[in-house]
Structure 1
Amino acid sequence: MKQVRPDSFTADPARGGRAPVALSIAGTDPTAGAGMQADLKTFSALGVYGATVITALVAQNTTGVQAVLDIAPDFVAKQIDSVFDDLSVDAVKVGMLSVPAVIETVAERLAAHRAPNIVIDPVMVAKSGDPLLRPEAVAVLRDTLLPLALVITPNLPEAARLLDADVADSEAAMRRQGERLLALGPKAVLMKGGHAEGDRSVDILVSDRDCLRFEAPRVATRNTHGTGCTLSAAIAAGLAKGLGLEAAVRAAKDYLTAALVAADTLGVGHGHGPVHHFHSVWS
């Protein structure tokens, strides 16, 4: 399996020697397999300085979600302003936003700061099946936040829920749903095929220019906690370091596949354990 090391990315000389910075706007995971903690691990593994804005405190582990405490919208806004007032942010990954007021706040502040390279992972359900996005928040996410994105990264159930449609059951259906999501305003849509069947995992990147297919072996492991967070964070890391979207997606998929291959070596948790974010760093 191809190993993606931090120095495999090409830095943008326009930064003048400054470290690339990626911001994660997401909920937490105290067991650190998903959410904001997984994003920080991914940024670090790929050689990017990570900043964070916490949108919800989530009591969860590898077996399920026990409780969610949403952060007040005005405090979310203050966190975003604190980051952008001090750091030169090269990319933004947006994860769990569970309530309409927080979604609206994040959209408003990102637009105000003209945030670049926004990657939106429309987190709706935890790996355990527990809901993370309230039903009344789906329309707000679709209408106010998606149009700001450079790319959104829904899995097949999330894409279906955003479109109020059946889950795509073929690559052709994935393409069609990607095109429908593209019409909602993002510049690109990465339809993730992790929930599909078969021995190959196929993701499809849809934009107004073309439709690209990314394929990797489907890894036989139950340790898949945080895969969506990790992939979107890895895309943001690549964008922060100056990669184009296609190259960032390809590198991110290679990184996640290798992290899944190494996941069983961790032995963490009693449920769906985390992927191995530092597979190419730890000896």
Structure 2
Amino acid sequence: MANEFPQTLTIAGTDSGGGAGVMADLKTMQERNVFATAVIVAVTAQNTLGVQDFMALPQKLIDEQFASLAADLKIRACKTGMLADAEHVHGVVENLKKYNFGPLTVDPVMIAKGGAALLADDAVVTVRDELVPLADVLTPNLPEAERLTGTTITDSRGMERAAVALQDLGAKNVIIKGGHEATPEQASDFVLLADGRSFWLTAPRVDTVRTHGTGDTLSSCITAELAKGKDFESAIRIGKDYVTAAIANPIAVGNGHGPLNHWAYNQGGAE
């Protein structure tokens, strides 16, 4: 029967280097056995060494991409990534309110691995006030959580407090990624679910520069699992395992912050 196969949507910017953004989203979703679609918000000139330039698309064309998907496909879960500036964040929010594309995972992308800003300063407020309240799952890293909450996070208690603050902003389920922590032995993420339950997800820290696109990959995997009907906790746990495998089994691509190995998890036979 038409449209019964699980379908997902990423709303983000491209990465010409193939390691992050829409490219990482599509690879991840494909590996998780869903059909992936995309609304392109911006185009970057980017490689493992950094972001050389980017340009946001006209809002009219973004609106038409949303309308085109809604007219034909049955999107069961969606995610946002790089949204460029306040105007484009607002435009995406309006479309998300207009169309039902299932549960929304928000990856509040602000800075690339190489340090380039991917979100204008004035857009942080728009993300906080307009996009975060729509999030069924919110996946900030530590710097993003700090900017959204206006706090400084220095330890695990700070991560827990920030997760509560992000729920107070309207996000239902929150996972704060601890990859930026100084802890040398392990990377720990804090998860606060909508029902009040919380837990930590811990994995051994891998000494590697091949972590480009980690946040995109996590949020994409969560989106794929939600599209297949998994509950939020299961989707988040699978996402963590998927990213851990992708980092632990690196591929040698590029001369800078290299991409993840998006097929590593499935090579282990996981479903």
Could you say which TM-score interval applies, normalised by the shorter chain? Answer: over 0.9
1:118-129 to 2 correspondence within 5 Å? 118-129=104-115
Amino acid at match of 1:119: T
Q: Displacement, 1:282? A: 6.5
Q: What value does the CA root-mean-square deviation take over the aligned residues?
A: 1.6
Match of residue 277 from structure 1: 262
% identity of equivalent residues: 42
Match of residue 143 from structure 1: 129
Contact 1:238/1:248 (<8 A) preserved: yes
Q: 3-state DSSP class of the match of 1:42?
A: helix
Match of 1:164 among 127, 150, 154: 150
Match of residue 11 from structure 1: none
Q: Distance in 1 between matches of 2:103 and 2:199?
A: 19
1:46-195 to 2 correspondence within 5 Å? 46-166=32-152, 168-195=153-180
Structure 2 unpaired stretches of 5+:
none
Q: Distance in 2 between matches of 1:25 and 1:273?
A: 23
Contact 2:3/2:74 (<8 A) preserved: no
* TM-score, normalised with respect to structure 2: 0.95
Q: Distance in 2 between matches of 1:282 and 1:239?
A: 21
Q: Distance in 2 between matches of 1:177 and 1:245?
A: 19
Q: Distance in 2 between matches of 1:269 and 1:241?
A: 33
Contact 2:187/2:205 (<8 A) preserved: yes
Match of residue 5 from structure 2: 19
Q: Distance in 1 between matches of 2:3 and 2:52?
A: 43
Q: Distance in 2 between matches of 1:70 and 1:255?
A: 30
- Tell me which stretches of 4 or more aligned residues in structure 1 moved more than 6 Å: none
Contact 1:26/1:53 (<8 A) preserved: yes
Amino acid at match of 2:178: G
Q: Distance in 2 between matches of 1:234 and 1:207?
A: 17
Q: Distance in 2 between matches of 1:115 and 1:184?
A: 22
Q: 3-state DSSP class of the match of 2:187?
A: strand
Match of 2:242 among 248, 255, 267: 255
Q: Displacement, 1:18? A: 2.1
Q: 3-state DSSP class of the match of 1:104?
A: helix
How many residues of Structure 1 are paired with residues of Structure 2 in the alignment?
266
1:229 aligns with 2:244: no
Q: Distance in 2 between matches of 1:203 and 1:262?
A: 20
1:242 aligns with 2:229: yes
Specify whether residues 171 and 44 from structure 1 end up closer, same or farther in structure 2 by C-alpha distance, changes over 3 A only.
same
Contact 2:242/2:265 (<8 A) preserved: no
Q: 3-state DSSP class of the match of 1:273?
A: coil
**Relative to structure 2, which stretch is displaced further, 156-165 or 50-59?**
156-165
Q: Distance in 2 between matches of 1:115 and 1:206?
A: 23
Which digits, 9 at most, give the CA deviation of each residue in 1:207-255, with x for residues without a partner? Answer: 3422121111112211000001000101101111110010000011101
**Relative to structure 2, which stretch is displaced further, 46-55 or 17-26?**
17-26
Contact 1:182/1:207 (<8 A) preserved: no
**Relative to structure 2, which stretch is displaced further, 197-206 or 54-63?**
197-206
Q: 3-state DSSP class of the match of 1:215?
A: strand
Contact 1:147/1:184 (<8 A) preserved: yes
Which digits, 9 at most, give the CA deviation of each residue in 1:129-155, with x for residues without a partner? Answer: 110000011111111111111011000
Q: Distance in 1 between matches of 2:237 and 2:173?
A: 14
1:36 aligns with 2:22: yes
Q: Distance in 1 between matches of 2:75 and 2:3?
A: 14
Q: Distance in 2 between matches of 1:77 and 1:16?
A: 25
Q: 3-state DSSP class of the match of 2:78?
A: strand
**Relative to structure 2, which stretch is displaced further, 78-87 or 148-157?**
78-87
Q: Displacement, 1:281? A: 5.2
Q: Distance in 2 between matches of 1:115 and 1:54?
A: 16
